[in-house]
Amino acid sequence: MEQPDRDGYALIGLGEAARVDARGPERFREVARRCRELARAAECGDDLIGLPPGAGPVFCGGFAFADGGGGSPEWSGLAPAQLVLPELSIVRRAGRAWLTFAGVVGGTGRAERSGASAPGTDPSAIADRLHDRLEALKPASMPLIDPSPIQPARVAGAAPPEHYEGAVARAVELIERGDVQKLVLAREVRVHAARAIDPAAVFGALRELFPSCFSYCVGTAEGAFIGASPELLVRRDGSRAQTVALAGTTRRSADPSVDDHLGEKLLHSAKEREEQAIVSARIERTLAPVSVWVAAADEPVLVKVHNVQHLATPIRAQLREPVPALELAGLLHPTPAVGGEPRDRAIRLIPELEGLDRGWYAGPVGWTDLAEDGEFCVALRGGLLRDRTAHLYAGCGIVRDSDPAAELAETEIKLQTMLPLLA
């Protein structure tokens, strides 16, 4: 996970000292509980006080959009909730870096669920393995994207564009009928390349093109879930929590005056302001019961990234109780920016209208530490890379005034985060 514009911030984890998987409606609490059990017994060689967020042992990973999401074959290897304690983690900020090694002694982590003993839990063997991993580290440059000079990539929607327009039209009917206030509908586009897609090359391009976004990459044996998200779901630092209500999108322009005009239109669009207000109000209501106070900006601001600009309302909260970052993420997910309003009704309708398995798309991705602080972004503007195929996802918030053709065009704009890199 990397956000270059934030003092060069980056966090990376390699290897697997332990893994915590969960599924179902209690998955956020379940992984928080099991991470807490591992953390409670942790012996840290150095005092962690004064180190930057993410230094020391961290649990990295994320969650599917739905409680049981990611069941389709392409999402194999990523559970509905999956956090890994890396054997090696590095956090970088403001020109300095901190490296942490972690090993689990005893039958915890992934083996705990089956009752089997964890492999390599002898302390000497663990130390030898960590030493070998350190010795194997060496400087390397990010690879460049190297498309086939002979066979161009083939791009095809998982469903025809008309399917998405029809889903939007049905959603508008439900909204006009009063069944829901807002629905977020996504579509999938697949890129079939001539050769295996290198996740490192894609990540290298994303971090350069979108330095203000959260560039993320969750790598597994089967593939990599990767993207550049503009949306923070939650950041917890002690008793302080931060988030952002992000909704409303328009394109960018190379002409500064046209770009400013597009931004002004977005700021004054009744449809986009309504969509943004729904997200902001829900986040404030959700945080209020666990907070001493919740403060949102009076007016949304423009957030401009490489290819699009958004409406955003920063929101801060002083927590009443030390709610873990994982549980805060569970309270907030999914916000109306990626789900809908009311939440429960929207979550039931989304798969019926979309006809796809979102997997980890629009779910939380990030990290938490031994103090249960952490940071999770909403996994947007990305896709799943598996060998020669990329599954890319983009969605739009549907409200009463939504036009099916316009919403389809907005998904095309959002797909431009990764599509030009792959095709």
Which pLDDT tens digit goes with each residue over 19-36? Answer: 999 999 999 999 999 999
CB 340 within 8 A of CB 175: no
Mean pLDDT of 9-13: 95
The answer to whether residue 120 sits within a structural domain is no
The answer to whether residue 130 sits within a structural domain is no
The lowest-confidence range among 25-39, 71-85, 144-158, 190-204 is: 144-158
Annotated catalytic residue: which of 2, 30, 87, 182?
182
Q: What is the pLDDT of residue 60?
A: 97
CA distances (Å), 267 to each of 153, 263, 298, 360, 387, in order? Answer: 37, 6, 13, 30, 41
CA distances (Å), 99 to each of 134, 182, 393, in order? Answer: 10, 44, 34
Q: What is the pLDDT of residue 120?
A: 55
Q: What is the pLDDT of residue 116?
A: 32
The answer to whether residue 71 sits within a structural domain is yes
Mean pLDDT of 299-322: 90
CATH number, position 282: 3.60.120.10
As beta bridge partners, residue 251 has: 308
Q: At residue 271, does pLDDT exceed 80?
A: yes
Q: Domain residues for 9?
A: 2-103+141-422
CA 62 from chain center: how many Å?
7
Q: At residue 333, does pLDDT exceed 90?
A: yes
Domain count, the chain: 1
The answer to whether residue 136 sits within a structural domain is no
| Mean of per-residue pLDDT scores for the chain | 91
CB 322 within 8 A of CB 335: no
Measured CA to CA, the distance from residue 246 to residue 243 in angstroms comes to 9
pLDDT tens for each residue of 364-379: 999 999 999 999 999 9
Mean pLDDT of 331-347: 93
The answer to whether residue 116 sits within a structural domain is no
Q: At residue 202, does pLDDT exceed 80?
A: yes
Q: Is 231 a catalytic residue?
A: yes
Q: At residue 62, does pLDDT exceed 80?
A: yes
The answer to whether residue 238 sits within a structural domain is yes
pLDDT tens for each residue of 217-270: 999 888 999 999 999 999 999 999 999 998 888 888 889 999 899 999 999 898
Measured CA to CA, the distance from residue 98 to residue 75 in angstroms comes to 32
Q: What is the pLDDT of residue 108?
A: 47
Q: At residue 186, does pLDDT exceed 80?
A: yes
Q: At residue 107, does pLDDT exceed 90?
A: no
Q: Is 410 a catalytic residue?
A: no
Annotated catalytic residue: which of 2, 30, 87, 231?
231
Q: What is the pTM of this model?
A: 0.92
Mean pLDDT of 276-290: 93
Express as a percent the part of the chain with pLDDT over 70.
Answer: 96
How crowded is residue 119: how many other Cβ atoms within 10 Å of its Cβ? 9
Q: At residue 109, does pLDDT exceed 50?
A: no
The answer to whether residue 392 sits within a structural domain is yes
Mean pLDDT of 350-355: 95
Query: Which phi-psi region, left, alpha or beta, contains residue 95 (left: φ > 0; alpha: ψ -120 to 50)?
Result: left
Q: At residue 17, does pLDDT exceed 70?
A: yes
Q: At residue 113, does pLDDT exceed 60?
A: no
pLDDT band at 53 (very low <50, low <70, confident <90, very high): confident
Q: What is the pLDDT of residue 111?
A: 38
The answer to whether residue 126 sits within a structural domain is no
pLDDT band at 159 (very low <50, low <70, confident <90, very high): very high
